[in-house]
Structure 1
C-alpha cells in the first residue's frame, strides 16, 4: 500500500457521504513525492544549484524579460516508473525552469513581468526540457541576471493522491449519484471539513511528479484550461471542464526554505501536460500555472 493511501481513504469516508466517498477513492492516483535526500537514500534529482545542459542549448530565457531560474532536475531513469500511471520517459533528465520576478537584479523603475496563471501571454516564463540519455552535457554557469537557488539533493517515495474538490474528474464521477449526493456536492460549505483535512498533509513541502496536484487555490487543471481557452474564466463551463480533463500533472515544485524557493506567499509551481503529448515526448507542449495563499 502506498504512503498516504490509508489516511486519504479514512478522511473521505469520515467526511463524505458513502457514495461520494467511494467515487473519490476510486479516482485516487499514484505519484512520486520528492523530498530532501538523506545519506544512503537513492538520488533521483535536485532542486536548484546549476544544471548540466547540452552544448549548443542556450540557457532558457523569456524574451524581453530575462533568464529563467533553474528550479529542478529529475533523473527519469531513477524513478519508479512502473508504479505511475503517466508515460514518463524511461531515461534522460527533465529540467524545470521558471522566471521568478523576485530573483536577481532588476531596475526598480522597470520591474519585470510576472508569470500569471490563466494568462497565455506569460507562458514563456516557464519551461520544461527533456535531455535524452547519452547526450553530452556540461554544467552551465548561471546568467548574470539571476541568483541560483540553493542546491538540494532529492530522493523519491511513492504516495497516493486524490483529486481536489473542484477537479472535473470528480465532478463528472458524481453526476450519476442520487439527488441527495449531488445536493451535498453543490451545497456551500458541505465540503469544508474534508477540504480542511486535505489541506494539512503530514509532510511539507509537497514536491511531486505525476498523480494529482496539491493545490493552494483549487484544481490547477482548471487554471490551465482557462489559459488554453484564452485566459480568464470561460463562460462555457462545459468547454472549460472538457479542456481541463485533457491535462494531467507532470510536476509540482513547492515553496522550499532549504532551497531558498518562495513562490509568492508560500505557493507552488505546477507543470501540466496532455497524456498524448507526454507519451510522444512533446515537452514543449506542456503548460504551466502557479498558485499562492
Structure 2
C-alpha cells in the first residue's frame, strides 16, 4: 500500500467524504528529508567535505574560472522512495552552488552558471576531488564563508508536505482564487491536516530536502511566480492592453501548471544568514535523468 492509499483509507475510515479526501490528497506531496546521521542510522550521502568526481573530471565551474562550492551528495540507491518523485534508482547526485552569484544571475530564468547538479551513474570510476587552486580567496563570499566546509554524513527519511496556504491561515489570505475555492470546499480541513501529522510526524534535524513544495522565503516572489512571469513575458509584451485581471488569471494558471509539473530537486539553507538554495526540475526531466535542465533559484531571506 503506497502512502496516498494509506492516507485515503485512514481519512475515509474517520467518516470524511471520499470527494473531499481526494481533493485534499491532490495537494499532498511526499519529500525526502536529510539530516546528520547518527551512529545507528543508514548513511545515504554527505554534506561538506570533498566530493567524489568521475576520474578525469575537473571541479565543476573551474572551466569558466569560477569553481562552485560543493553542497552535498546523495546515493540514490540508498535513498528511501517517495511517491511522485521519480529519482534514479542508483548512481549519485552531487549539488554545487555559489549562492551569491546565483542569486544575482538566476532571477526569472533559473539559469546563471553558478549552480550545477551532477549525476554520476552507477559503475562510474570516481576519485575524491582535489580542491581547486586558490579556492579559499577571502573575497569569494562577501560574508567570508570558507569554500570547503566540514564533512557530515547524512541519513534520510520521508515526510508528508502540504502547500503553505493549506495549513496556514495567514498564507491562505494570499492564496490564488482556485486555492481559496478549494479551502471553502474542504469542510474537514483541520481533521485532514491532523491526520497527515499523525501518519507522518515531523522529525527534527533536517536541513536538506528533495521533493515537496518550494519554500517561500523572505519577501521575494517564490520560484513558481518567477518562472510564470518569465514564461508569460513575451505574451504580455505583445498584448500591452491586456486587462490586469486577465494577467493575474493567466499568471495564476501558469503557476498551477508549474507546481504540477516541476518538483524541488533540493532545498537547503546555505552557510549564509541571508540566502536559501532551491534547485527545480520538471518531473519529466527527472524521470529521464536530464539533470542539465535543472534550474536554480537562490532566494534572499530578508
* TM-score (norm: length of structure 2): 0.66
DSSP 3-state at the match of 2:35: strand
In structure 2, the CA distance between the partners of 1:24 and 1:149, relative to structure 1 (3 Å rule), is: farther
Cα deviation for residue 62 of structure 1 reads 7.2
Measure, in 1, the Cα distance between the counterparts of 2:285 and 2:102. 28
In structure 2, the CA distance between the partners of 1:141 and 1:75, relative to structure 1 (3 Å rule), is: same
Q: Which structure shows the bigger proportion of residues in helix conformation?
A: 2
Report what 2:157 is aligned to: 157
Measure, in 2, the Cα distance between the counterparts of 1:274 and 1:121. 13
In structure 2, the CA distance between the partners of 1:115 and 1:91, relative to structure 1 (3 Å rule), is: farther
Report what 1:253 is aligned to: 268
Q: Which runs of 5+ in 2 are unaligned?
A: 8-18, 137-146, 166-170, 186-192, 194-201, 238-246
In structure 2, the CA distance between the partners of 1:145 and 1:230, relative to structure 1 (3 Å rule), is: farther
Measure, in 2, the Cα distance between the counterparts of 1:66 and 1:80. 34
Report what 1:134 is aligned to: 123
DSSP 3-state at the match of 2:88: coil
Q: Is the 8 A contact 1:55 1:136 kept in 2?
A: yes
Q: Which runs of 5+ in 1 are unaligned?
A: 7-18, 102-111, 183-193, 195-200, 256-260
Report what 1:223 is aligned to: 226
In structure 2, the CA distance between the partners of 1:215 and 1:253, relative to structure 1 (3 Å rule), is: same
Q: Is the 8 A contact 2:48 2:72 kept in 1?
A: yes
In structure 2, the CA distance between the partners of 1:208 and 1:21, relative to structure 1 (3 Å rule), is: same
1:209 pairs with 2:210: yes
1:91 pairs with 2:90: yes
Measure, in 2, the Cα distance between the counterparts of 1:154 and 1:85. 22
DSSP 3-state at the match of 1:67: coil
Q: Is the 8 A contact 2:87 2:287 kept in 1?
A: yes
Q: Aligned-residue CA RMSD in angstroms?
A: 3.9
Measure, in 2, the Cα distance between the counterparts of 1:33 and 1:137. 26
Q: Is the 8 A contact 2:43 2:154 kept in 1?
A: yes
Per-residue CA distance 1:233-287 (angstroms, 9 max, x = gap): 99551445544543211111224xxxxx22x52x421111011111111000011
Alignment of 1:1-293 (within 5 A): 23-24=23-24, 26-61=26-61, 66-81=66-81, 83-101=82-100, 114-120=103-109, 123-143=112-132, 144-146=134-136, 147-165=147-165, 171=176, 174=179, 181=184, 203=204, 205-217=206-218, 219-226=222-229, 236-237=250-251, 238-255=253-270, 261-262=271-272, 264-265=273-274, 267-291=275-299, 292-293=301-302
How many aligned residue pairs are there? 242
